Amino acid sequence: MLREIEVALGDRSYPILIGEGLLESRCEPLRELAEGRQVAIVTNPTVAALYLGPLRAQVETVAAGLIDVQLPDGEEYKTWESLNRIFDALLEARFDRRSLVIALGGGVIGDMAGFAAAVYQRGIDFVQVPTTLLAQVDSSVGGKTAVNHPAGKNMIGAFHQPRLVLADVGSLRSLPPREIAAGLAEMLKHGAIADPAYLESLERDMASLVACEPAAMIAAVARSCEIKSAVVAADEREGGLRAILNFGHTFGHAIEAGLGYGQWLHGEAVGAGMVMAAELSVRLDLLGASGRDRLLAAIAAAGLPVAGPDWPVARYLELMQVDKKAEQGVPKFVLLEDLGRAVVRRAPEAEVAASIAAHIG
């Protein structure tokens, strides 16, 4: 089974191929892109041990040159210093503006390799080969690339669309269960904001998805990519609609920032964040209590936290002030009008505080 989703962005459109064993078999779209070009595979040592060999073998017979750049693993290395190691390698190998960067790894590698491609000689092509579930359903769709700054996550970055995404669900079986759960958080989010039928299918297939069964996983990854692609195509640069993809993220980013990056996985913070956002939706009379409870149960079934760290509410509020979705210091929230339908609006601070207090500890 091979699914292909087209992300429709005019002359920046690109396909996402989703299947099992893509990394080991010959992938013609990838080989066509690499043909005659200098190619750099950016990855980390953990992923390299598993997949760098097969990917190199596919590319090296057609590329004009092939290097790999291995960066240390983890969100705490999503920095300018790591980015500079990519630039150093590209420049040392005299890569020109026709070169191609392939990001092989999770969201951290994709964000850094994508941002490096966005700004190397003012922009070169790149391909995403996401090997984590989170990256397959989230960070590989939409062209958001970035590095962190000590003052905030993803503060420095660019919109830069890949030319091709290869999502091999076979690579998910090597992941620890926490990382599968973190990906499921974003998939639940897609259902919650845009597609009640998809949310139901996730609830129904949750055991198969937690076990990474290929058929269920390919179908769900494809549906998540379709939903995210449709939102991104309608609003490439986050003018409006795309904001709904931040459901759970205003709270989630506060958790990540407060803990220091790398303590909770992004998807885990989003899991607890979605519970808080659903709570806020209930308190503002947008969503029924049963909708909140159903979402909370699905988040728990995926193996995700349903409560944030036990901090004073004031600490959450302070952390949310610097979130980049804030405008002039007043945060906006993505809320649910129903399961499957999202809206963006400001909320009274008292209700925000109460929603946090109800789901910590």
* Residues that are catalytic: 122, 144, 186, 228, 238, 242, 246, 249, 253, 266
Of 1, 2, 8, 64, the residue at the interface with a copy of itself (CB under 8 A) is 64
Question: Can you say how many angstroms the Cα of residue 27 is from the centroid of all Cα atoms in its chain?
Answer: 23
346 binds a copy of itself (CB under 8 A): no
Question: Can you say how many angstroms the Cα of residue 8 is from the centroid of all Cα atoms in its chain?
Answer: 19
Of 21, 45, 53, 123, the residue at the interface with a copy of itself (CB under 8 A) is 123
Of 8, 45, 57, 80, the residue at the interface with a copy of itself (CB under 8 A) is 80
Task: Give the residue among 3, 27, 45 at the shortest CA–CA distance from 169.
Answer: 3
94 binds a copy of itself (CB under 8 A): yes
Q: Distance between CA atoms of 291 and 289, rounded to whole angstroms?
A: 5
84 binds a copy of itself (CB under 8 A): yes
Q: Distance between CA atoms of 75 and 57, rounded to whole angstroms?
A: 28
Residue 153 CB, nearest distance to a copy of itself (Å)?
A: 11
**343 vs 87, 207, 266, CA distance in Å?**
40, 30, 22
Count of CA atoms in the C-beta half-sphere (13 A) of 72: 10
**25 vs 11, 31, 65, 86, 150, CA distance in Å?**
28, 11, 21, 27, 41
322 binds a copy of itself (CB under 8 A): yes
Q: Which CB sits closer to a copy of itself, 204 or 237? A: 237
Q: Distance between CA atoms of 262 and 108, rounded to whole angstroms?
A: 11
Q: Which range in 120-128, 174-182, 196-204, 285-293 contacts a copy of itself by CB under 8 A?
A: 120-128
Instruction: Enter the DSSP assignment of 214.
Output: H
14 binds a copy of itself (CB under 8 A): no
Q: Which range in 70-78, 85-93, 255-263, 281-289 contacts a copy of itself by CB under 8 A?
A: 85-93
215 binds a copy of itself (CB under 8 A): no
258 binds a copy of itself (CB under 8 A): no
Residue 280 CB, nearest distance to a copy of itself (Å)?
A: 21
Total number of residues shown for the chain: 361
Residue 120 CB, nearest distance to a copy of itself (Å)?
A: 7
Of 50, 67, 156, 357, the residue at the interface with a copy of itself (CB under 8 A) is 156
DSSP reduced 3-state for 313: helix
Tokens representing residue 172 in the block: 């998910």
Q: Which CB sits closer to a copy of itself, 329 or 361? A: 329
Kindly state the helix (H) or strand (E) to which residue 353 belongs, with its residue range.
Answer: helix 349-357
97 binds a copy of itself (CB under 8 A): yes
Q: Distance between CA atoms of 150 and 127, rounded to whole angstroms?
A: 28
Q: Which range in 206-214, 246-254, 264-272, 326-334 contacts a copy of itself by CB under 8 A?
A: 326-334
60 binds a copy of itself (CB under 8 A): no
91 binds a copy of itself (CB under 8 A): yes
Q: Which residue's entry shows tokens 């080991």?
A: 24
**1 vs 22, 211, 239, CA distance in Å?**
11, 18, 36
Q: In the range 259-318, which residues lie near a copy of itself by CB under 8 A?
A: none
Contact footprint for a copy of itself (CB under 8 A): 38, 64, 80, 84, 87-88, 91-92, 94, 96-98, 115, 118-123, 144, 146, 149, 151-152, 154-159, 237-238, 321-322, 324, 326-329
